[in-house]
Structure 1
């Protein structure tokens, strides 16, 4: 059995160079005891064939496919159904993992059984190169969830048994752009906690196309996720103002938000 199962969803990307960089950053990890499960989410282009060719020479890689486009949460749950590893690691098809990422995360989880999940900091990059960094709080608490996500989703590694206790990702309409945030809310509501390695273990693509995908309807869905999550975490009445936060933030232009976050060039 592999120590780690890496799960990744992919959909309609014919950028072979980008996808290959993402996959190679996993295949070439300094920690090699893993399986890499990739779920094509019913792509209508040649994404499936591109990935199949890239992974053809590595027996640790497994490619599956949804019959139709179902969304990231559904795809990740599909990967979980066949995952055999003790730990579950995430990866996205347009990002890059630092080559010692798994080595550091496995060591942390092995040595710190009190933590259910470990993430880390990341470099931010786009088509022009690295332009900033994103630092996450080292010891996130449930109160930190009021302000937003506490882990960079594709950077995390989590204990599979705990993820299964939570029934994996919640694949419903309201979590279609915040399936990770919903998971963190449920994770902490069940009394688990996580840690962020204070090093850049990941390279996160944040470009203009990512900004364009953030439609306002997803802000409304996030508000619903926040309400349910905060209620389970007993964060009301303080949490009420933070429930409507995504609705307000959604009205602010993305270039202004980038400046406010200190992530502009």
Structure 2
């Protein structure tokens, strides 16, 4: 029976971190995986690094866009080449803890199709920022829950059962396409279960959208109105929940 995990990544100018990301995948206690990376026309040495990795590890499958199309196109390119029973996602500067895949697959068992975990934050050099996300969450999350951002649901923590989502494709957004994707999956009636264990370290880089609250808020509103097609007052209601949680969430 196919139990392979297809690990989906998009890379762009990640020469300082992508080797560490690969090493965190290579260190997994669950070893039946393939890492599918699409480089978004990096202009540093990222592609050369992943090419070298691929030459030495047959589980690594790489491709390169002819131009910089954005992470949605790159992730979809990677998804289209996946063959595993599960899809996992990791950004090309984040890190997995060694038991991440093993612990999360055991949690999913035979019945859960969509799961995510808690994570902690690190800086560009890998030092802890002393902050954890989704660690105090429990249970399951619906479409309405995630419209209101009751959980953060970090992309690099997600695992999906492939047969449940056979036509997965991320929307063509330059940023926030992962959140929009999760909403699309949950809109069908599926639910996302949280495993409240820190199994991923999310790297915060200077100048990233994760540091820019105004851009994040604009992206959130765009997804409500243009992607989900919510009416104005429904969008406003959800946005107020999102803003409150962004300010007061610990």
TM range (shorter): 0.7 to 0.9
Identify the residue that residue 42 of structure 2 maps to in structure 1. 43
Secondary structure in 2 aligned to 1:99?
coil
| Aligned-pair CA distance for 1:212 | 7.3
Say how many residue pairs are matched: 243
C-alpha RMSD of the superposition: 2.7
Question: TM-score of the superposition, structure 2-length normalised?
Answer: 0.85
Equivalent of 1:206, from 193, 204, 207? 204
- Is the deviation greater in 131-140 or in 20-29? 131-140
- SS of 2:50's equivalent in the other structure is helix
CA distance in 2 between counterparts of 1:239 and 1:46 reads 42
Q: TM-score scaled by structure 1?
A: 0.81
**Which of the residues 181, 192, 195 maps onto 1:194?**
192
Residue 221 (structure 1) shift: 3.9
Residue 84 (structure 1) aligns with: 83
Name which of 196, 218, 241 aligns with 2:237.
Answer: 241
Q: CA deviation at 1:20?
A: 1.2
Q: What is the SS of the residue equivalent to 2:118?
A: strand
Alignment CA distance shift 1:211-1:74 (3 Å): closer
Task: After TM superposition, give the deviation of residue 28 of structure 1 in Å.
Answer: 1.6
Change in 2 beyond 3 A, CA 1:185/1:212: closer
1:228 offset after TM fit, Å? 5.0
Following TM superposition, by how much is the alpha carbon of 1:141 offset from its aligned partner in structure 2, in angstroms? 2.5
Say which is worse superposed, 217-226 or 85-94, in terms of deviation.
217-226
Task: Give secondary structure in 2 for the equivalent of 1:20.
Answer: helix
Find the aligned partners of 2:69 and 2:156 in 1 and give their Cα distance: 19
| 1:102-138 per-position Cα deviation (integer Å, ceiling 9, x unaligned) | 1112222333x2x321110011111361121112532
| Partner SS for 2:194 | strand
Q: Matched residues in 2 for 1:146 and 1:75: separation? A: 25
> SS at 1:220's partner residue?
helix
How many Å apart are 1:210 and its aligned residue?
2.3
Question: Is the contact made by 2:18 and 2:46 (CA closer than 8 Å) also made in structure 1?
Answer: no
* Distance across 1 between alignment mates of 2:56 and 2:83: 21
Shift of 1:43: 1.2
**1:164 paired residue number:** 166
Distance 2:23 2:204 in 1: 20
> Where in structure 1 are there 5+ consecutive unaligned residues?
250-256
Deviations 1:209-257 (Å, cap 9, x if unpaired)?
A: 325774845643431211356557xx985543334777x79xxxxxxx7
| Residue 140 of structure 1: aligned partner | 141
Match of 1:3 in 2: 4
